[in-house]
A and B are shown apart, each in its own frame.
Chain A
Amino acid sequence: QVQLQQGGAGLLKPSETLSLTCAVSGGSFSDYYWTWIRQPPGKGLEWIGEIHHSGSTNYNPSLKSRVTISVDTSKNQLSLKLSSVTAADTAVYFCARGLRFLERLLGLDYWYFDLWGRGTLVTVSA
């Protein structure tokens, strides 16, 4: 059974760099879009960015200048770095496994997240 084990510091000061990891056990990195999503307290889900097993990345335009997502295939581990954090970055951060199903002949094209980490609460406070 594939599991996502999250780790990283939960308390940061403003201007520091958030650094989280997500270890994938029981499965491989191939053919998935490994994704970071966050949820501020009492609010909805916000997509941060993704990395495909090929190495290509996409980032939320509102965070792009501060975000780096990478993978270490030797460790089966996904990483997130978010620089220059402020109180607005306080949130629960989730890693998730994304998939795309495409069958053009049938007119089917859909994306979904089938597996989520348990989340890491990151608090930014002076």
Chain B
Amino acid sequence: SSELTQDPAVSVALGQTVRITCQGDSLRNYYASWYQQKPGQTPVLFIFGQNNRPSGIPARFSGSDSGNTASLTITGAQAEDEADYYCYCRDSSSDLPLFGGGTKLTVL
């Protein structure tokens, strides 16, 4: 189907590890990219391709892929990681862009 599905909300204790997932058939053909968005701000690219991080993105963020699922893992979550996270790839049928619905991460 032409959708990327994310859990609407995830929480993690400060300093713990959390995985945010994104599911969709198109992920069998394309790697996902991940974006962080804080309230009132522009989305920022955090992960792209086969676990690539743009300059300035902390190493505690990593990406992985398995079958129809892409994951964003934060190892040792910090308070400043509290934000919305969106996955993105192209639809393998139409080749048009697809965004996941977003996951709101709360750091407890």
- Interface residues, chain A, with chain B CB atoms under 8 Å away: 35, 37, 44-47, 50, 58, 60-61, 94, 98, 101, 108-114, 116-119
Instruction: State the B residues within 8 Å of A (CB).
Output: 29-33, 35, 42-45, 48-50, 54, 86, 88-90, 95-102
Chain A contacts of B101 at CB under 8 A? 44
Contacting residues, chain A, for B89 (C-beta < 8 A): 110-111
Asked if B97 contacts A50 (CB within 8 A), the reply is: yes
- Chain B residues near A110 (CB-CB < 8 A): 30-33, 48-50, 89
Asked, given contacts A45-B102, A94-B42, A118-B42, whether A112 binds B97 with beta carbons under 8 Å apart, the answer is no
Complex CA distance for A47 and B35, rounded to whole angstroms: 14
Complex alpha-carbon distance, A46 and B32, angstroms? 16
Partner of A112, one of B88, B98, B102: B88
Nearest-CB residue, chain B, relative to A46: B99
Q: Which residues in A have their C-beta under 8 angstroms from that of B29?
A: 109
Distance (whole angstroms) from the CB of B70 to the closest CB of chain A? 10
